[in-house]
Structure 1
Amino acid sequence: MNNNFSIALAFIAGLALAWWIEGMRWDTDVATLKQSHTAELRKISDQALIDLTNQKKRTEAAQVALAALDAKHTKELADEQAENEKLRADVASGARRVRIAAANLATSQLIRNSTSGTCGVGDAAQVELSGAGGRAVLDLRASAIKDDQVIQYLQGYITDVVKQCKLK
């Protein structure tokens, strides 16, 4: 019985030793996994920081480019409006007149004077508009200029935004 008791005690001691060794191995595996998981999270975090910094730089560059585009088109529009106001003032004061060359719209040719032998833009029959008519034409011109500037601005804006949105 003493022999069986020693065998049982040795068996239990062996099981306890195996349990303890397996527990230590388990702890080592968990620690290794924790380290690799922490390293992977750090790597992901560092990459996210780099991506965020790059995106911030792209956004800032886009904002600078769009501000420059806005300033350019605002200046061009202001210059064109100033020119149109100058023309309007000249028409109102009588210093300038608005004339329209008459054209045969069916043939897209300018109507020429019957006394002239050659045809050119200077030979076209002209219609002189009244002051109100001239101002109306200049209003249309101002509207066309503004629309053109807005279209150019929007096209430039879209082009810049598309360039900035492309991932490199």
Structure 2
Amino acid sequence: MNNNLPIVLAFVAGVALTWWVEGLRWDADVSKLNESHTAALKKQSEQAVIDLTNQQKRTEAVQAVLAALDAKHTKEMADEQAKNDRLRDDVAAGTRRVRIAAANLATCELTGNSTAGTGGLGDAAQVELSGAGGRAVLDLRASAIKDDKVIQYLQAYISKIVEKN
């Protein structure tokens, strides 16, 4: 057995040396993989920051456009409301009256026998409303104007949102 001791020691030393060399190689491979993984993550992170910044700029641009649109339509609604309030005050004060033009509409028979020409109301008569009736008409006018402005605002809002996306 003493004769085999140097061989066993040489074998154990060879295994230990091989183990140590493989460990160094393994550590080098792991280190390279770590570096490449870290570089890839950094690149993705930088791209994410760029994308986020660009999206934030687009969002701010859309918000600015929508704020301007909101201001425009709010001013238009306020102007129309003020105009309607002036008309209502004039009717209440008696300086203005609300008149509605009434016309007899053409019947189918008259329309079929008519020749091409300029259109008109024909024998139009005017109906004058009382103060309360005039105010009611102006209230209806204000409501119709407000609804129209809201619809215009919403259509423009949707158009801007779709346009920016």
Q: TM-score under structure 2 normalisation?
A: 0.83
**Alpha-carbon displacement from aligned partner over 1:69-88 (angstroms, at most 9, x marks no partner):** 11000110011111112222
Aligned to 2:32: 32
* Unaligned 5+ runs, structure 2: 109-117
Aligned to 2:162: 162
Aligned to 2:139: 139
* 1:97 aligned counterpart, secondary structure: coil
Aligned mates of 1:10, 1:147 — CA distance in 2 = 98
Number of residue-to-residue matches in the alignment: 156
Deviation at 1:100, TM superposition (A): 1.3
**Alpha-carbon displacement from aligned partner over 1:83-127 (angstroms, at most 9, x marks no partner):** 11222222223332211122446859xxxxxxxxx9623742221
* Unaligned 5+ runs, structure 1: 109-117
CA RMSD of aligned residues (A): 2.3
Deviation at 1:16, TM superposition (A): 1.2
Deviation at 1:49, TM superposition (A): 0.8
Aligned to 2:82: 82
- Bigger RCO (CA 8 Å, 6+ sep): 2
- Is residue 46 from structure 1 mapped to residue 72 from structure 2 by the alignment? no
**Alpha-carbon displacement from aligned partner over 1:55-80 (angstroms, at most 9, x marks no partner):** 21122112211110110001100111
Aligned mates of 2:101, 2:107 — CA distance in 1 = 15
State the percentage of identical aligned residues: 74
Structure 1 segments, 4+ long, off by >3 Å, are: 103-108
